[in-house]
Amino acid sequence: MSRKQIKEQAARYAKFVEWSDEDLCFIGRCPGLFAGAVHGSDEAGVYKDLCETVEEWIELLHKDGAALPEPLAGKAFSGRFVLRVEPALHRRLAAKALAAGESLNSYCVRTLCKA
């Protein structure tokens, strides 16, 4: 696999860099590819290290003949999922939706978008 192909594959995986109050540093993750993380004090530096780590991981999997996990970019989503909650939470959410003048679905979508 060429360096260009590795970079193209790496670009398909979601990468996240977030500040960790617990660790007092930025943490970079690529949950679709590996469970570990990279960290550091500079957000841009952590992202750069994360991108390099993703590329290295892809290269290692390819050399080992292992299949790459399917990235989120290649998956089709229906826009529907079932969420199981306790009845008390269901009741509270329904009441909040009613108070907001929204359907339960609209209320939950709006709330999830804020998360």
Q: Are residues 25 and 44 in the same domain?
A: yes
Q: Are residues 15 and 46 in the same domain?
A: yes
Percent above pLDDT 70 for the chain: 100
What CATH number did the domain enclosing 60 receive?
Answer: 3.30.160.250
Q: Are residues 69 and 82 in the same domain?
A: no
Q: Are residues 56 and 84 in the same domain?
A: no
pTM value is 0.71
Q: Are residues 22 and 68 in the same domain?
A: yes
- Where in the sequence is the domain holding 94, given as residue range(s)? 77-114
CA distances from 60 to 2, 6, 25, 65, 72 (A): 13, 10, 27, 9, 20
Q: Are residues 58 and 94 in the same domain?
A: no
Q: Are residues 61 and 99 in the same domain?
A: no
Q: Are residues 25 and 52 in the same domain?
A: yes
Q: What is the pLDDT of residue 73?
A: 80
**Torsions phi, psi for 23 (to 5 deg):** -95, -10
Please report, as a single letter, which amino acid is at residue 34. F
What average pLDDT does the structure give for the chain?
Answer: 94
25 has which bridge partners?
A: 20
pLDDT digits (tens, 9 = 90+) for 46-72: 999 999 999 999 999 999 999 999 888
Q: Are residues 41 and 83 in the same domain?
A: no
Domain tally for the chain? Answer: 2
Q: What is the pLDDT of residue 86?
A: 96
Q: What is the pLDDT of residue 72?
A: 83
Q: Are residues 90 and 108 in the same domain?
A: yes
CA distances from 25 to 34, 38, 39 (A): 20, 10, 7
